[in-house]
Amino acid sequence: MKRTCLVLAAVLLAAGCQKKANTVRIGEYASMTGATATFGQSSHKGTQMAVDEWNAKGGILGKPVELITLDNQSKPEEARLTALRLINEDKVVALLGEVASSRSLAVAPEAQRYGVPMVSPASTNPAVTETGDYIFRACFIDPFQGSAMAKFAYQDLGLKKGAVLFDVKNDYSVGLKTFFIQKFKELGGEIVVETSYAEKDPEFRAQLTQIRDAGPEFVFVPGYYNEFGLIARQAKELGLNVPMLGGDGWDSAKTVEIGGDAVEGHYFSNHYAADDPDPKVQGFIAKFKAKYGGETPDAMAVLGYDSAGMLFSAMERAGTNEDRAKIRDALAQTRDYDGISGKISMDEKRDAKKNLVVLQIKGGKFVFHKSVSPD
C-alpha cells in the first residue's frame, strides 16, 4: 500500500508521516497508480491546492490541515482498506475521495459505519450517497448525466438510432448506460446494439464490427478514458465513422494521447470547461498552471478542489474541526457553495444539484459546446 503524507503546516515534518495533535487530519484515498491513475492524480492536485490556500489563511478554525493521502491503486478492495487505515490508524476527521464510483461504493459503507463524513469529488453513480447520511458528493449524478446526453443525441444532433458499448464490470459505466438508454427510448430513439467489454480489455473489434454492421447513427461509450481511446482507434480502423458520445469518464489528457485523431469530433458530458471565460474559472486555471508546471486542470482537479473547499467551509460553519456529526450536519446544509465547477447545493439525498457541460474534442482539445441545467 503506497502512502504519501502531506503535512501542510508552519513547521516542517521530519522524515516519515507523523501524526500531529494540533492539526486537522483529513484522509484522502485516491487512485494515484493503476488503471485510472490520472483521476486520482488530478483530484489530489486540486485537493492539495485547496489545502494550501486554506492553510495560507490560517487553516480551519485556527488549526492547519494535515492531508494524509493513500494510494488505492485503482482497486475497490484496496480503496476500502486504505480508508479503514485512515479512519482507524490516522484518526482522520473526514474523508475526501474517490473519483470512481466503484471505489466510492467500496468505501462508503465503512465511512457510514464509523460515522466519518465522506465527500466524493466525482463519483456519479446514485448508489454512492444512498449508502447513508455521512456520504456526500460535489458532482452531478448519472440519472441527470445519462438523460442529458440522450437528449443531446436525439434533440441537438438529430440522431434517432444508436448503439451502446459499455464496461460490464464498472458500476459507473453500467449505471450511466442504463439511464442513457431509458431516456433515449422515451424520446423515441432506437438502440440497435447493446454490447459490452471488461476493464483493461485491449481488443474491441468484435463488438465494434457487430455495431458497424447494425448501422447506427452514433455509439454511446460510457466508460473511462483508457478503454475509450482504444475503442475510438479500432472503430476508425473498421470504418465505423459515426459520432461517439460519452460521459465524464473520458476527461483525461490520456484520451487524446491514447486515441490520437480517432477521438476528434466526439462529444462527452463533463463538470466544467477549461475554455469557460468566467474570471473565476480562468483565475483558478492560472493558479493551477503556476503551481503545477503549466498543466491545465481537468475536471477531476477542479472537483478535488471544490470538494475540499466544500468540506472545509462546512467545518467553519459548524464551528468545529473535530465533531464529525456536526460537520455532517453542516455539509448537508450546504447551499450555493461557490465552486469552480459551479454553485453547489446539497439536495435531500446529499447529491449536488448543478449544471453539466457538453464538450467536443477538437484539435486535441476539449471545447465547450453547450451547458445543460438539471431543471
Domains of the chain and CATH, by start: 3-140+279-344 (3.40.50.2300), 142-270+357-372 (3.40.50.2300)
Residue 301's SS3 state is: helix
pLDDT computed for residue 21 by the predictor: 62
Cα–Cα distance measured from residue 22 to residue 263, given in angstroms and rounded to the nearest whole number? 49
Q: Is the pLDDT of residue 7 over 60?
A: no
Q: Is the pLDDT of residue 19 over 80?
A: no
Task: Please confirm whether the linkage preceding 78 is cis (ω < 30° from 0).
Answer: no
pLDDT tens track for 114-161: 999 999 999 999 999 999 999 999 999 999 999 999 999 999 999 999
Which residues pair with residue 68 across a beta bridge? 5, 27
- In the block, which residue shows the cell 470538494? 307
Q: Is the pLDDT of residue 1 over 70?
A: no
pLDDT tens track for 181-193: 999 999 999 999 9
Which grid coordinates belong to 324?
A: 464529525
pLDDT computed for residue 20 by the predictor: 52
Q: Report pTM.
A: 0.91
pLDDT tens track for 252-268: 999 999 999 999 999 99
Query: What mean pLDDT do residues 37-41 have?
Result: 97
Which grid coordinates belong to 367?
A: 471545447
**Strand order across the beta sheet in which 3-7 lies:** 3-7, 65-71, 24-30, 94-96, 118-120, 135-137
Cα–Cα distance measured from residue 146 to residue 144, given in angstroms and rounded to the nearest whole number? 6
* Short-list 354, 351, 337, 356, CA closest to 276: 356
Query: What mean pLDDT do residues 55-83 have?
Result: 98
* Helix (H) / strand (E) containing 360: strand 356-362
pLDDT tens track for 267-305: 999 999 999 999 999 999 999 999 999 999 999 999 999
Q: Is the pLDDT of residue 61 over 90?
A: yes
Confidence of residue 375 (pLDDT cuts 50, 70, 90): confident
Which residues pair with residue 28 across a beta bridge? 69, 96
Query: What mean pLDDT do residues 192-210 have?
Result: 96
Q: Is the pLDDT of residue 10 over 60?
A: no
Provide the mean pLDDT of the chain: 94
Q: Residue 63: phi, psi to the nearest 5? A: -115, 135
Which grid coordinates belong to 25?
A: 487530519
Helices 225-237, 205-214: axis angle to 10 degrees equals 60
pLDDT tens track for 303-344: 999 999 999 999 999 999 999 999 999 999 999 999 999 999
